[in-house]
Structure 1
């Protein structure tokens, strides 16, 4: 009697697993919608972001201006769409920059025993300062431009990622396959990329979502304090900074960009928490 073999079922991908959970599924959908709105801003926005109409300044939300107008008569809805492009671009650049710096520092400290102490002390010294104060100091020293804001926030958040990468590298460097690669004479850079970095990709991905959320909040905070990106470039933070002067008579100028920040950060946190649960083997057993 011939045995009937059951068809092999492939394990669902990471995106499918995230969509299978209600919280992360909602977070992913929200993030996709926000990203699409930012990318399609030139076609979705009913007005140019810098178009002035002093005759219609401080108008409440209407069918003509869905989110009202600001102190110069500019359409708040249109500015929010373009501000999403700037805020998300800055946050994404911060994630990339901090990841590069953090991975280099973490791998160096975790893999090379002689460099562990000096690199770890450097990371600890950077983390001793409050994030926003260190960012303000760096931006004040470098100048309030988008590139300098990215560099400042990247330097602020790189130590967090460096500590995570270092902790994982300390474990991986003692595993048999790494020792075997060393014994076979595999070059150290190849070992770091092929055997170490690939195995710390999961915690890097999780930390990246949290850094993304924190970078959005930090950029908004810097812009609100007047030390972030130039007010000529619409971001959610600069819109809130402008709206605080008219909070009593035109609260919508602050309310809508503030709500956008809250919704985006909450969606990122939901996705990040689910990624941590799914990618951590210890937590995945309990799901």
Structure 2
């Protein structure tokens, strides 16, 4: 199986080769540049702007983009650029946190199901049952039950996306556990946890990394959708989803209120998908030889 092999075992030189090959692809390079710009905006934007993201100025409400307010103002006179940058911090934080949570859950379930035959059937059925529900509906149900907050959104989305990783890890583990070097480790008396971590998990880092980029993008999009529907984080916290929800009633008067956060979501998700596609092509031996 291609997913169980890495592109190059050559240590630092091998990783450098992967990075050079990745940067040679224009689409991937564009994705990395866009991601870097979004990250820079999220980190430095609020410091560069002279406005507070929560400061109300009704006298300046619905002002179009100008030299004073780069992206205009919203219905409460708040600077859209500043709020966009602050919301970007939250979106990136949620996306990264969901990747961590889903990886912990998914990798654990996948390893246990793939390595231990007695656990395979029940865990595989659990994974299939979780994937039977549409992602957004399951996320809405979990957040509604837990309550609207950043922590609950991360927990809900982490549970929703964990089965994606679990299936990949399980399928790869089923192959790796039968390979000669695993059998040799067993014959030498190496403990099961050590075999799972050093001999199985190490060979799964490539597919986990690739899938993590796709989960990052999906989580950012799902968080925006939950916030747009009003079941995500608190409405008082600026997010790209809440900015779009608040600006939709002013679409005719002030389209910039929802245009800029919508553009930020599109660029962030697209750039992550481009990077993920590039990583998949490079780390899959069947595809890497054609690049």
Normalising TM by the smaller chain, what interval? over 0.9
State the partner residue of 2:196. 192
- Over 3 Å counting, the alpha-carbon distance change for 1:11 and 1:76 in structure 2 is closer
Q: Per the alignment, in what secondary structure is the counterpart of residue 74 of structure 1? A: coil
With normalisation by structure 1, the TM-score equals: 0.95
State the partner residue of 1:266. 270
Deviation at 1:12, TM superposition (A): 3.4
1:142 pairs with 140, 143, 146, which one?
A: 146
State the partner residue of 1:27. 31
Q: Per the alignment, in what secondary structure is the counterpart of residue 58 of structure 1? A: coil
State the partner residue of 2:3. none
For the pair 1:152 / 2:156, whether they are aligned, the reply is yes
Q: Is the 8 A contact 1:82 1:234 kept in 2?
A: yes
Between the aligned partners of 1:10 and 1:205, the Cα distance in structure 2 is 16
Deviation at 1:10, TM superposition (A): 6.9
2:211 pairs with 207, 214, 218, which one?
A: 207
5+ long unaligned stretches in structure 1: 1-8
State the partner residue of 2:81. 77
Deviates more, 1:43-52 or 1:86-95: 43-52
- Over 3 Å counting, the alpha-carbon distance change for 1:11 and 1:134 in structure 2 is closer
Deviation at 1:250, TM superposition (A): 1.0
- Runs of 4+ residues deviating >6 angstroms: none
Between the aligned partners of 2:136 and 2:249, the Cα distance in structure 1 is 23
Deviation at 1:11, TM superposition (A): 7.2
Deviation at 1:18, TM superposition (A): 1.4
Q: Per the alignment, in what secondary structure is the counterpart of residue 40 of structure 1? A: helix
1:38 pairs with 29, 37, 42, which one?
A: 42
Between the aligned partners of 1:30 and 1:87, the Cα distance in structure 2 is 15
Greater Cα radius of gyration, structure 1 or 2: 1
Between the aligned partners of 1:126 and 1:266, the Cα distance in structure 2 is 26
Deviation at 1:17, TM superposition (A): 2.1
The superposition leaves residues 227-269 of structure 1 with CA deviations (integer Å, 9 ceiling, x where unpaired) of 0011111111111111112112111110000000001111001
State the partner residue of 1:275. 279
Q: Per the alignment, in what secondary structure is the counterpart of residue 207 of structure 1? A: helix
The superposition leaves residues 50-94 of structure 1 with CA deviations (integer Å, 9 ceiling, x where unpaired) of 111110001111110111100100000010011100111011100
State the partner residue of 1:18. 22
Between the aligned partners of 1:99 and 1:39, the Cα distance in structure 2 is 25
Q: Which structure is richer in relative contact order (CA contacts within 8 A, separation 6 or more)? A: 2
Between the aligned partners of 1:134 and 1:43, the Cα distance in structure 2 is 37
5+ long unaligned stretches in structure 2: 1-12
- Over 3 Å counting, the alpha-carbon distance change for 1:56 and 1:228 in structure 2 is same
Between the aligned partners of 2:50 and 2:126, the Cα distance in structure 1 is 49
Q: Is the 8 A contact 1:37 1:44 kept in 2?
A: no
Deviation at 1:38, TM superposition (A): 1.1
1:124 pairs with 114, 121, 128, which one?
A: 128
2:91 pairs with 87, 93, 108, which one?
A: 87
- Over 3 Å counting, the alpha-carbon distance change for 1:84 and 1:10 in structure 2 is closer
Count of aligned residue pairs for this structure pair: 279
The superposition leaves residues 89-132 of structure 1 with CA deviations (integer Å, 9 ceiling, x where unpaired) of 01110011001100000001111111000000000000000000
